[in-house]
Amino acid sequence: MKKILLFLIGVLTCSFVFSQDGKLYLKNSKFKSGRENTYVYEPPKELLVPEKVIVQIAYVPSKNMKFIMDKVGDKYEFNMKLPDSTAFFMASVLDKKMKLVDNNNNKAYTVFLKSKSSKNKQEIELSRLGLVSKSAQLLKMDIPAEKMISDYEAFFNLNPKLKSNETYTRYLFLLHNSDPKKAEPLLLECVEKLIKKGDESSFEDAISIYSRLKMKEKYKETKELAIVKYPKGMHAKEKFGDAFSEKWEKEGFGVEALIKFVEDYKKNYTNEANKDLDERMLNSAYVQILNHYARVSDTTKLEAYSKLHTNKAELSNFYNNVARNLVGKELSSESKNLDYATYLSRKSIDIINERIKNLKYGELESDFDNYKTNNLATYAQIKFKLGKNNEAVDLMNQIAEKRDLYPAEKEKYAVYLEKSQGSEVAKNYLEKELIAGLGSKVMMKQLEEIYKKLNIPENEFVKIKREAVKLVSEKSKIDFTKKYGDFKGIDFALTNLEGKKVQLSELKGKVVVLDFWATWCGPCRVSFPYMQKMVEKYKGKPVEFLFINTGENSIPTETVQIASKFITEKKYDFNVLFDFEKEVSKKYQIKGIPTKIIIGKEGNIVSDSFSDGNMDLLIDEQIK
């Protein structure tokens, strides 16, 4: 008992003891339920904090909010209302570009709101551990898995009765990643208890355990049991959706069947307990319906079904994607029906602007910057294709006010600038970007053409190019070493669709393009026709394309079947490798897909951030 009390005293005071000089606390000593409370942030004395900062909040159950803090003297304050049941929250301080300012020495600030009994203190600490593991990325915490595992083990050694908590399953999954032999018997013991417990959440964890342990029959059996016991539960809904999708892909029936699917789903499967899942399922169906009406340019039906889609940010993204497909991915791409593309693009911007006007509590306008800026980028390209170059430049400048332009956007912006403001202005911009270390072959080529137009001696261009290439090479080595520990490609061995082992180190002497993807990834699918062209273009040359399937969220045998079916149906000539345990994805720190990485003939990483339009130029440079 004494050990437990000492342990709890330590963890419940951690936000103050370990925070150096920094503190985050309730302004008034008493927490007021059902209303906003004021909180105070005192930065560490040695920390230089910007004038405007944001506090990122995470609390149980899996909720997060952001608030702009007001500077009051040398402190910062913000108001926040939390549910009455909230026992604590965790927070980190960010700047306006969402970069970390202070996360309490990698622990985040923890604020406890109510005094609890000793028993509840144990449950609260377990909730805190669970929140740390779920929200580490959100709170900008870099916590090694080993540290998280040891914290869990220390807690469960003192509180073995709480191993029935859902957080225990999360601990076992972490343990399984690092020590499968130790974790497997514990997972098998845990899964039996979960099934006996019998609630829907326990079934979810049990199914996840069988999937992780690759126990296919148990996985299917437990899934079916969950469907029988919970006919309106998650797996029943997914089974209904999967059966429809499979039939749709085989038979290719029309929009009427999609509308019928929505009606049947609403009638037979919706319930309050799975409201979020219901919204996702229905929104997914609405997107397919909207896709149909977008293809036939039925704007009346588009307007009607847009009103039913509840996730307005995703809806905005849908309109943007359709508009972008019409205008073409690259400036050289053929454009179709620009008037219709203009309507769709304008619609995407109007929807996201309306969403920003109706922010939910704890949301900031900056939460939607990616949606808005991507929409503006598409609209700028449409304006360019229509010959409205000044408007295209203005739109890109609006993006630059929100965030740095991506490399592909800078390439387009340079073209817009030249058309709008002339060669001299474009030349200055290109030189500035290239000398700053932007490795763009497209921009280098444009600069060379401008030098010729302006009759600038060739040796001046050669001088700029030599300096830029040198800077890019040095910068890349520093960046890749910082990110991966070395600028050389990290070796791996994976099995491909034919069952053959492919090892990266054995491909030395060839340029290797890694493409991380999954069948469910929309942007991956969109990029594949272009990737097929690249495969065909470099066939017979010292170039190897490796399409690394990751994150299918199914057991290995099913993953192979899903990927094989997709590749065969689409008739892609891809060398598909399987990263079942996501080990290679972790090595290359893949945060999202698609992600493409080019490795040169000497085994060095050439680029992990480039546009498709730049890909062949980068490859050509390596195979010279």
Assign 186 to helix, strand or coil.
helix
Write out the DSSP string of 317-372: HHHHHHHHHHH-SSTTSPP--HHHHHHHHHHHHHHHHHHHHTPPTT--GGGGHHHH
Measured CA to CA, the distance from residue 376 to residue 392 in angstroms comes to 9
| Catalytic annotation, pick one of 227, 524, 531, 543 | 524
- SS3 string, 483-545, reads HHCCCECCCCEEEECCCCEEEHHHHCCCEEEEEEECCCCHHHHHHHHHHHHHHHHCCCCCEEE
Say if residues 155 and 42 touch (Cβ distance below 8 Å).
no
Measured CA to CA, the distance from residue 55 to residue 38 in angstroms comes to 13
Residue type, 477: K
Measured CA to CA, the distance from residue 416 to residue 399 in angstroms comes to 14
- 């709480």: which residue's tokens? 162
| Catalytic annotation, pick one of 521, 526, 562, 617 | 521
Measure the CA dihedral 535/522/63/26, to 10°: 60
Measured CA to CA, the distance from residue 531 to residue 547 in angstroms comes to 10
| Closest residue by Cα to residue 331 from 376, 381, 396 | 381
Question: Parallel, antiparallel, or unpaired for β 511-517 and 543-549?
Answer: parallel
Q: Which residues contact 97 (CB under 8 A, 6 or more apart)?
A: 403
Q: In Å, what is the CA distance from 470 to each residue of 410, 414, 623?
A: 20, 22, 19
Assign 580 to helix, strand or coil.
coil
Say if residues 442 and 406 touch (Cβ distance below 8 Å).
no
The number of residues in the chain equals 624
Active site (annotated) includes residue 14: no
- Sign of the dihedral through C-alpha 178, 184, 190, 195: positive
Assign 314 to helix, strand or coil.
helix
Strand partners, 75: 72
Q: What is the DSSP letter of 587?
A: H
- 């849908």: which residue's tokens? 318
**Crossing angle of the two packed helices 200-212 and 166-178, in degrees rounded to 10:** 10
Active site (annotated) includes residue 524: yes
Residue 180 token pair: 């499968």
- Rounded to 5 degrees, φ, ψ at 314 are -65, -35
Cis peptide preceding 160, ω within 30 of 0 = no
Strand partners, 77: 40, 70
User: Active-site residues: which are they?
Assistant: 521, 524
